[in-house]
Amino acid sequence: MRHLHLAKRLHGLRAQVLLWTVLPLTILLIVFALSGVSSHQSSMRALAIEENTRLVMMMAQLVAVSVENQALRTGTDIALVSPDTLNLDDILQMDHVNAITILVLMDAQGKVLFNRGSIPSDADLMAWDGVQPALRRENGALLSSSSMQDDVIAYAPVPNTEWVLLIREGWHSLTVPLIQFEQLMPFILFTAVAVSLLTLFFGVRYVVQPLRELSVRATRIGQREFLANSVVVSGVQEIEDLSRTLDEMARRVHSYQAALHDYAGEVTRAQEEERGRLARELHDETVQTLIALGHKAQMAQRSLHRDQQQADTRIMELRDMIADAIEEVRRFSSALHPHYLEELGLLSALEVLTKEAKAQFEVQGTPIRLKPELELTLYRIAQEALNNVLHHAQAQHCAVMLHFQESCIRLRIRDNGQGFIVPAYFSDFTRIGHFGLIGMRERAQLVNGEITIESRPGQGTEVSLTILI
């Protein structure tokens, strides 16, 4: 259970920001700092070795020149010139003020001829790194780790003599004039920690907390508090955009629900009006016709005994009234449910419907029978659209086009009436009183159809329905 709780916490945004942003950035900065220090130290060591190599060779050359000058002044052989006769204190001057420098001039047997700085005994001196290569009359420099810190030992033979010159200095002291990169390491590590903390603060303040606020508002919207997201949540740009989108979605859902509420009320009212109309027509026409039929039947029965010719006339009138009653009932039945749609199909039903509405009917493609629910949807939408044309459009011409395609069927009803401004959202049709268009859309959605309405004031209206088959 604890493992599941830990895994859930690790999947949180705060942990993800820490794991994927702050922690890698901190590690990267620390690695950069350490690698920078190591690289800088290597560069400084190489610089110290190179500098002391040039320095020892230059000093060895100065000693050689002094020996030659002394031999010329005294007229003696170079090999017989004594170091004591040379002004070596002036010749072997070092400019490294802060450096602890040891300078040694020795002969081929390792005997110290001149020195500056504290040197060990001859036996210990011979154990120094670089002494043996120097006695072999080699020149160069190396790092020695025999002391508490690394030292640079540079050596070179004195030209035209059997002498060798050694210089030993701590390499750290040689780089004092330069900026010590490793001294910046605490600052770099502090910067890494500060940047990590700032990044974490930014993630929590501008990402985690706004997302939590959005989660709370989304929950309130789910509880039908649609205006809970009226104030934009402050955070990064993407979260603010998400907040605005959530607000717009909540307003649309609220508007759509209000539209459905109004539509349901209008449907209920229309249903009650239709029931009242049918009741009045049945009472005023069908019932009255049936009452009249009863009277006619009585009169015909009486005439049978008195006047046969009058009885025949009464019976003919009775048959006409029965035919009218039958036609009236059929009209009611057709208005309630088009039986000829099931019996003859969609094309015949649309032909009758468009003929009654005095509209042009056109069929394209190869007609096929569709599922009953699809044919009923197409018929009802065409019926509603034609009713709108007859009662609202004030159109002089109307055309119904049915196009059969391989993958879909398209129904278009177009008129040249007065038109109107189409709202941006379907839910706004209730605001302008077009409840029939809402009903058409609901019918289309029940069969996964798509309905579009194009209209402009003074330019007519076109209703287009597409259903996949």
Q: Are 375 and 345 in contact (CB under 8 A)?
A: yes
Whether residue 157 is contained in a domain is answered as yes
Reference 349, options 326, 384, 376, 389; nearest CA is: 376
Asked if pLDDT for residue 264 goes beyond 70, the answer is: no
How far apart are the C-alpha atoms of 41 and 35, rounded to whole Å? 10
For residue 167, tell me if it sits in a domain. yes
pLDDT at 278 over 70: no
- Confidence bin at 213 (pLDDT 50/70/90): confident
pLDDT of residue 192: 67
Among residues 184, 219, 238, the one where a domain terminates is: 184
Q: Indicate if the pLDDT at residue 11 is higher than 50.
A: no
Please list, in sequence order, all residues whose beta carbon lies within 8 angstroms of the beta carbon of residue 142, skipping any fewer than 6 positions away.
49, 129, 130, 152, 153
Instruction: Kindly indicate the confidence band of residue 178, based on its pLDDT and cuts at 50, 70 and 90.
Output: very low
User: Greatest CA separation found in the chain?
Assistant: 189
Query: Based on the structure, what is the number of domains in the chain?
Result: 2
Confidence band of 42 (pLDDT split at 50, 70, 90): confident
Q: How far is CA 100 from the centre of its chain?
A: 63
Residue 455 falls inside a structural domain: yes
- The two three-digit tokens of residue 123, written as one number: 């036996």
The 3-state DSSP class for residue 340 equals helix
pLDDT in tens, 285-319: 666 676 667 666 666 666 666 666 676 676 777 77
Q: Pick the more confident residue, 274 or 420.
A: 420
- Is 85 part of a structural domain of the chain? yes
Residue 11 or residue 412, greater confidence: 412
CATH at 447: 3.30.565.10
Q: CA–CA distance from 328 to each of 56, 240, 325, 340 (Å)?
A: 129, 64, 5, 16
User: Would residue 352 count as lying in a domain?
Assistant: yes
Q: What CATH number is given to the structural domain containing 146? A: 3.30.450
Tell whether the torsion through CA atoms of 62, 64, 66 and 69 is positive or negative: negative
CA distance linking residue 404 with residue 374, whole number of Å? 13
- Rounded distance, CA 370 to CA 452, Å? 21
* pLDDT above 60: residue 364: yes
Residue 459 lies in a domain: yes
**Model pLDDT, residue 177:** 45
How far is CA 304 from each of CA 189, 291, 317, 320, rounded to the nearest angstrom?
A: 124, 20, 15, 19
Last residue within a domain, chosen from 142, 162, 184: 184
The C-alpha atoms of residue 216 and residue 199 are separated, in whole angstroms, by 24
From 194, 195, 198, 200, select the one nearest 14 (Cα to Cα): 200
**How does the average pLDDT of the chain come out, rounded?**
76
DSSP symbol at 137: T
- Sheet containing strand 101-106, strands side by side: 112-116, 101-106, 164-170, 151-157, 140-144
Looking at 165, 184, 203, the residue that finishes a domain is: 184
- 20: its two tokens: 């994927």
What pLDDT digit, counting tens, does each position of 217-256 carry?
777 766 666 665 566 666 667 767 777 777 777 777 767 6
Residue 459 belongs to domain spanning: 338-469
First to last CA, the chain: 51
Share of the chain above pLDDT 70, in %: 61
Torsion over CA of 444, 447, 449 and 453, rounded to 10 degrees? Answer: 0
d(CA 296, CA 319): 10
Pairwise pLDDT comparison (4 vs 277), residue with the higher score? 277
Instruction: Judge whether 330 lies within some domain.
Output: no
Among 424, 429, 461, which Cα is nearest to 442's? Answer: 429
**102-139 pLDDT per residue, tens:** 888 888 888 888 888 888 877 678 888 888 888 888 88
Cβ count within 10 A of residue 349: 22
Contacts 24+ apart (CB under 8 A), 149-153: 150/45, 152/45, 152/48, 152/49, 152/52, 153/128, 153/129
Residue 240 lies in a domain: no
Q: What is the pTM of this model?
A: 0.44
Q: Nearest 10 degrees: CA dihedral of 145, 147, 148, 150?
A: -40
